[in-house]
Amino acid sequence: MAMADVTIFGAGIAGMTLAWTCLQRGAKVQIWDKRAPGAGASGGLVGALAPHVPEQWIPKKAFQLESLLMAEPFWTEIGGAAGKDPGYSRSGRLQAIADGAGLLLARSRHENAKVLWEGKARWDVVQAAQVGSWAPRSESGWLVHDTLTARLNPRLACAALVAAIESEGGQILTGNTPPDLEGKIVYATGYEGLLEFSEAMGREVGNGVKGQGALLKYDAGNAPQLFAEGVHVVPHSNGTVAVGSTSERYYDTPDVVDEQLDAVIEKAMQVVPVLQGAEVVDRWAGVRPRAKTRAPMIGPVPDTKDVFISNGGFKIGFGMAPKVATIMADLILDGIDTIPDDFRVEASL
Ligand SMILES: Cc1cc2nc3c(=O)[nH]c(=O)nc-3n(C[C@H](O)[C@H](O)[C@H](O)COP(=O)(O)OP(=O)(O)OC[C@H]3O[C@@H](n4cnc5c(N)ncnc54)[C@H](O)[C@@H]3O)c2cc1C
């Protein structure tokens, strides 16, 4: 390929959504992964695009709202270019309300959402009995139903991104030999990048948090995803339901599933009884990249020229991807810097 305008290291959701966005703007892009596209945290099973609660509004929540609202056209466009469905659907979410205090809080958030979500999505309080057999166990008998939450099938989304990038002339490279450093350089190398960066800085700027999830054979159609008693249950379009996730700060093996996942599956089946007896068709473990601030770590690397980072997706990397990719492309290609202060690389140094 002719000289690249942008060279991206790491073909996870962060690297590939940025590659796609830069290609859309006419840039020449090469992206290299030392393993394969989607080989890191992005190649998992869960794929919840879920909002923060509508209260105590901060720039991070406003940013996430914008990103979630961008997701539908963003993924539709990628699916169209790829000729492959990324499995996106804004199918909403039901959350169990534990007790009376939770019910009061949920009702105040219902009012907050009207303002903070600008009428673009709802946060309603509904009776579990109205929902029927898909309702999660709820001590109070009440649930929150929000219409902002969506889902994406992580593996289908990665496959769609690969095809979309290639359809626009982007080059995806894998293997042991890194490409020549051409154009602007972006490191989107997940938790390993955060560990390497920490080593280079001589202090911890981020780390990895392992997670495990499973896939059950159960066709819930386009039913809302569920969150109850700490478990996420996410129906996908292909007759499966994902359940997750563990959160392990300390671990020996990054990609090995163990008995901690059995506990998550068991809990999901208790909380959502219709899942009892469903066959477990996949189990997976990966490591989430968590910056010191717990917010995304994006923008220029201080004291360098034309070197950038897009990392720190942590537990909401899929949900943040459309807007992170957009403002990173603004910065890299057009020099327009709208990176929120909390997200800047310096914030974690
Ligand atoms: C169990 C689990 C459940 C999750 N559920 C959700 C969810 O429901 N919703 C959500 O939004 N997020 C979820 N996440 C988090 C989400 O997966 C991450 O935030 C996101 O995938 C991070 O994407 P990334 O591209 O930054 O990193 P990765 O996907 O890890 O990509 C980094 C890539 O860089 C490559 N690489 C590393 N070093 C180099 C190098 N030196 N050179 C070249 N390539 C390199 C790796 O091989 C890898 O492919 C979950 C994570 C886990 C583990």
17 has a pLDDT exceeding 60: yes
Q: Considering only CA atoms, which residue is closest to atom 21 of ligand 1?
A: 42
> How would residue 101 be classed by pLDDT, with cut points 50, 70 and 90?
very high
Between strands 150-151 and 171-174, the pairing is unpaired
212 lines ligand 1 (CB under 6 A): yes
State the pLDDT at residue 118.
94
User: What are the helix and strand counts (H, E) for the chain?
Assistant: 8, 16
* pLDDT tens readout for residues 55-65: 999 999 999 99
Share of the chain above pLDDT 70, in %: 99
> How would residue 1 be classed by pLDDT, with cut points 50, 70 and 90?
low
284 has a pLDDT exceeding 60: yes
Between strands 206-217 and 93-96, the pairing is unpaired
> How would residue 19 be classed by pLDDT, with cut points 50, 70 and 90?
very high
* pLDDT tens readout for residues 317-337: 999 999 999 999 999 999 999
CATH code for the structural domain at 6-89+152-206+292-348: 3.50.50.60
294 has a pLDDT exceeding 90: yes
Contact 239, 219 (CB under 8 A): yes
State the pLDDT at residue 149.
98
**Does CATH number 1.10.760.10 belong to domain 127-149+207-289?**
no
Averaged pLDDT, 68-76: 98
> How far apart are alpha carbons 123 and 112 in whole angstroms?
9
State the pLDDT at residue 309.
98
* CA 190 / ligand 1 centre spacing (Å): 5
Query: Which residue is listed with tokens 């968590």?
Result: 290
> How would residue 2 be classed by pLDDT, with cut points 50, 70 and 90?
low
Which segments of the chain are extended strands (E)? 6-9, 29-33, 48-49, 93-96, 123-127, 142-146, 150-151, 171-174, 184-187, 206-217, 225-228, 231-235, 240-244, 280-291, 297-300, 307-311
* pLDDT tens readout for residues 198-229: 999 999 999 999 999 999 999 999 999 999 99
Averaged pLDDT, 19-32: 98
Reported pTM: 0.97
Atom of ligand 1 nearest to the CA of 35: 47
> How far apart are alpha carbons 136 and 134 in whole angstroms?
6
The one-letter code for the residue type at 323 is: K
Domain with CATH 3.50.50.60 in the chain: 6-89+152-206+292-348
Q: Map residue 27 onto helix, strand or coil.
A: coil
Respond yes or no on whether the N-terminal peptide bond of residue 245 is cis (omega within 30° of 0).
Answer: yes
* CA 290 / ligand 1 centre spacing (Å): 10
301 lines ligand 1 (CB under 6 A): no
Q: Considering only CA atoms, which residue is closest to atom 26 of ligand 1?
A: 190
Contact 297, 188 (CB under 8 A): no
298 lines ligand 1 (CB under 6 A): no
* pLDDT tens readout for residues 112-138: 999 999 999 999 999 999 999 999 999
State the pLDDT at residue 117.
97
- If one residue of 9, 18, 30, 46 were mutated to test the ligand 1 pocket, choosing by the most ligand atoms within 8 A of its CB, it would be 46
Domain with CATH 3.30.9.10 in the chain: 127-149+207-289
Contact 153, 161 (CB under 8 A): no
* CA 104 / ligand 1 centre spacing (Å): 36
